[in-house]
Chain A
Amino acid sequence: MSSSWINTRAWLLMLPLLIVMVAVIGWPLIDTVRLSFTDAKLVGTSGNFVGFDNYLKMLSNSGFQRAFLTTTWFAVISVTAEMVVGVAAALLLNQQFYGRTVLRALMILPWALPTVVNATLWRLIYNPEYGALNAALTQIGLLDAYRSWLGEPGTALAALILADTWKNFPLVALIALAALQAVPRDITSAAMVDGAGAWSRFRFVILPYLAGPLMVALVLRTIEAFKVFDIIWVMTRGGPANSTRTLSILVYQEAFSFQRAGSGASLALMVTLMVTVLAAIYATVIRKTAGAN
């Protein structure tokens, strides 16, 4: 068979998928780019061309800058926490002990919960009148009186990060646990015989095996964290006093609540651009680490 026929056949086989992809991703994306240069409303007018107005207004808007910082802070802290807790959980669950299988299965539970359920659950835990967190902390004496965790700008974002970490660390743990299975026992044993401590064994023997898979987890989690919407929308709707208003919430308000589809589209594209840059950086790093191995 000629190679050109193989080539043509490959394209023919992919054609249906390509058509679907262009229809559901390509076209909407191009249309969003077009929208972002107009002052279109969600309902009614299709809008006039306004050039880079939407972008300039957005960049000079203090609300956008603040939302950008809030989003970055949320992403950095929650992803870091998820990576650390996830790896620690994986190391524990990799030990031989009675009931390990049950624990491994239980660990998936938070991750399997729909985000909205998780958010509602944590809102109950944080409830200022009858929440479990308040009850627990006052009973062990760490807190004098019940607090409004989601009502204070100082604690609301931290409370959201904790809830998000609880939900998402199992993904990291799962990936790490799978990678740990590839660490040859004889190498860890040899390191032990050579007198390497627990930390040295982790740092120099185990971590190199984990690096690649963890990088994938890091990419996935960072992109997700940067786009965060649902957990915040359910728990605080961006309050108190906008202290938890992330970029996605800003996009939602702009496009749907205020019905300014044009500037909403420019905001959405900005978020897409940031996530794409992050993904590109990670892709480069992954390629480099893979090459090093």
Chain B
Amino acid sequence: MLKSIKTALLGATLFSAALSGVAHAETKLNALFMAQAAYSEADVRAMTDAFTKANPDISVNIEFVPYEGLHDKTVLAQGSGGGYDVVLFDVIWPAEYATNNVLVDISDRITPAMKEGVLPGAWTTVEYEGKRYGLPWILDTKYLFYNKEILEKAGIANPPKTWAELADQAKIIKEKGVLDTPIAWSWSQAEAAICDYTTLVSAFGGDFLKDGKPAFQTGGGLDALNYMVTSYSSGLTNPNSKEFLEEDVRRVFQNGEAAFALNWTYMYNMANDPKESKVAGKVGVVPAPGVEGKSEVSAVNGSMGLGITTTSKHQDEAWKYIEFMTSQATQNAYAKLSLPIWTSSYDDPAVSAGQEDMIAAAKVALAAMYPRPTTPKYQELSTALQLAVQEAILGQSKPEDALNTAAENSGL
């Protein structure tokens, strides 16, 4: 079955490669992106059009998949002999991709200008064991969004600084009858749940791994899951959070049905767009809160990079494309849904215009980004943790038991 899929994919790739060879004499690149959060499909197409206009000898065929399919599609194409030249990858995959020889080590291609200009924290997105497997492109973390109008109605002057305070404020909002379930999260059995969990782990000062072994089942890792369970069972969290992905959270927040929501950068300008949002102009954003005595703010590294596959026959052209997509000029021009990787962009008035709060939150949160564990077995670890989160919030097992089982099934 595996091989037949591989063979079919290979056949399709060869066939399309043969066709394109006849039609054009130019270099054709295939690139894989995601249709979810960060840059919109339209933005990526516009950037790519600008690139092909500047480089008429290169054409780029772009494909979009949901985030949930990005990893598997990349690996599957690679397993069948290739197909993509440029792929978008999440911060959690370089370890696996490097170990399995999916991405090319591009450390030597990085220019001094890049080394100086890109935010130091951004590089962790593409690194594994000292080598770099692409350029960071989407610099992102989960922020705490709040509905200013709802907070005002409940008589709350400032957004919470700690997670305990967030629970208190949600309780006030609930008791005053402003909203029944004030907090929205993305806790579906998916990576999104792990991003929320990681944010809390960073707040509670927990560790995922110690000396390569699971350490999330005690201390901050356990505190984080306990917080989620309490927030769910106390009725402060929207119970549908257990089947939400980021886009569901955005919809609930935009409809004014959440006072607080954890989400990526892209929600700021979308929720402020009166054409599709009922809460335009009332959107507040701050770094996710901290925990007294442990942290000031919390943040998960949810960045993504662009890399070249080892099967690509046009690595120089692919690099040219990546350079263009990650360039400061391109990123500054499309800074409404995803913020640039370049340090100086954050002080550029053209970039911060109309989203001053977002930039202010980003300056603090991006510096506090906490990584998910770097291991080639990340997918297994994450799948085990997703199950633990769901079993705990659904009350099927106690948080400590759920995390212990996850540690056993993590493959580490």
Which chain B residues (212-262) contact chain A, with CB distance < 8 Å?
239-240, 242-243, 248, 251-252, 255, 257
Binds B, one of A136-144, A148-156, A180-188, A201-209: A148-156
A241 touches B391 (CB 8 A): yes
B189 touches A240 (CB 8 A): yes
Scan B59-76; emit 1 where CB is below 8 A from any A CB, else 0.
000000000100110011
- Partner of B243 from A25, A148, A272 at Cβ < 8 Å: A148
A241 — which chain B residues lie within 8 A by C-beta? 189, 387, 390-391, 394, 396
Instruction: Name B252's closest neighbour in chain A (CB-CB).
Output: A129
| CB within 8 Å: A-B pair count | 107
Which chain A residues (205-253) contact chain B, with CB distance < 8 Å?
236-242, 252-253
> Distance in Å from the Cβ of B210 to the closest Cβ of chain A?
23
Q: Report which residue of A27, A240, A261 has the largest number of chain B beta carbons within 10 angstroms of its beta carbon.
A: A240
Query: B379 near A: Cβ within 8 Å?
Result: yes
Instruction: Name B380's closest neighbour in chain A (CB-CB).
Output: A258
B394 touches A240 (CB 8 A): yes
Binds A, one of B22-30, B95-103, B162-170: B95-103
Add 11 more A-B contacts to A129-B248, A152-B394, A240-B242 (CB < 8 A).
Answer: A35-B3, A43-B79, A43-B102, A128-B240, A129-B257, A236-B243, A237-B68, A239-B189, A253-B383, A256-B72, A272-B1
Q: Report which residue of B102, B251, B377, B387 has the largest number of chain A beta carbons within 10 angstroms of its beta carbon.
A: B387
Query: A265 near B: Cβ within 8 Å?
Result: yes
Query: A90 near B: Cβ within 8 Å?
Result: no
Given A129-B240, A148-B243, A265-B1, decide whether A259 and B75 contact each other with a Cβ distance below 8 A: yes
Can you identify 16 A-B contacts, CB atoms within 8 angstroms?
A28-B2, A28-B4, A32-B3, A35-B2, A44-B101, A236-B189, A237-B189, A239-B188, A239-B189, A242-B189, A252-B72, A258-B377, A258-B379, A258-B383, A265-B1, A268-B2
A31 and B76 alpha carbons, distance in the complex (Å) = 17
Scan A15-45; emit 1 where CB is below 8 A from any B CB, else 0.
0000000001101110110010000011110
- Partner of B2 from A24, A32, A150, A253 at Cβ < 8 Å: A32
Query: B190 near A: Cβ within 8 Å?
Result: yes
* Interface residue count on the A side (C-beta < 8 Å): 38
Which chain B residues (375-405) contact chain A, with CB distance < 8 Å?
377, 379-380, 383, 386-387, 390-391, 394, 396
> Distance in Å from the Cβ of A70 to the closest Cβ of chain B?
14
Query: B141 near A: Cβ within 8 Å?
Result: no
B190 touches A237 (CB 8 A): yes
> Distance in Å from the Cβ of A89 to the closest Cβ of chain B?
31
Query: B7 near A: Cβ within 8 Å?
Result: yes
> Distance in Å from the Cβ of B225 to the closest Cβ of chain A?
14
A268 touches B190 (CB 8 A): no
* Range, interface on chain B: 35 or more
Which residues of B are in contact with A by a Cβ distance under 8 Å? Answer: 1-4, 7, 68, 71-72, 75-76, 78-79, 96, 99-102, 188-190, 239-240, 242-243, 248, 251-252, 255, 257, 377, 379-380, 383, 386-387, 390-391, 394, 396, 411
Which residues of A are in contact with B by a Cβ distance under 8 Å? Answer: 24-25, 27-29, 31-32, 35, 41-44, 128-129, 148, 150-153, 236-242, 252-253, 255-259, 261, 264-265, 268, 272
Q: Report which residue of B75, B248, B377 has the largest number of chain A beta carbons within 10 angstroms of its beta carbon.
A: B75
A56 and B4 alpha carbons, distance in the complex (Å) = 25
Instruction: Name B242's closest neighbour in chain A (CB-CB).
Output: A151
A35 and B72 alpha carbons, distance in the complex (Å) = 19
Q: Report which residue of A148, A236, A239, A257 has the largest number of chain B beta carbons within 10 angstroms of its beta carbon.
A: A239
- Partner of A148 from B72, B242, B391, B411 at Cβ < 8 Å: B242
Instruction: Name A268's closest neighbour in chain B (CB-CB).
Output: B1
A236 — which chain B residues lie within 8 A by C-beta? 189, 243
> Distance in Å from the Cβ of B75 to the closest Cβ of chain A?
6
> Distance in Å from the Cβ of A198 to the closest Cβ of chain B?
44
B2 — which chain A residues lie within 8 A by C-beta? 28, 32, 35, 42, 255, 261, 264-265, 268
B1 touches A32 (CB 8 A): yes
Instruction: Name A44's closest neighbour in chain B (CB-CB).
Output: B100
A35 — which chain B residues lie within 8 A by C-beta? 2-3
B380 — which chain A residues lie within 8 A by C-beta? 258
B390 — which chain A residues lie within 8 A by C-beta? 239-242
A148 — which chain B residues lie within 8 A by C-beta? 239-240, 242-243
A25 touches B99 (CB 8 A): no
A255 — which chain B residues lie within 8 A by C-beta? 2
A184 and B64 alpha carbons, distance in the complex (Å) = 56
- Partner of A259 from B100, B188, B252 at Cβ < 8 Å: B100
> Distance in Å from the Cβ of B202 to the closest Cβ of chain A?
24
A155 and B4 alpha carbons, distance in the complex (Å) = 35
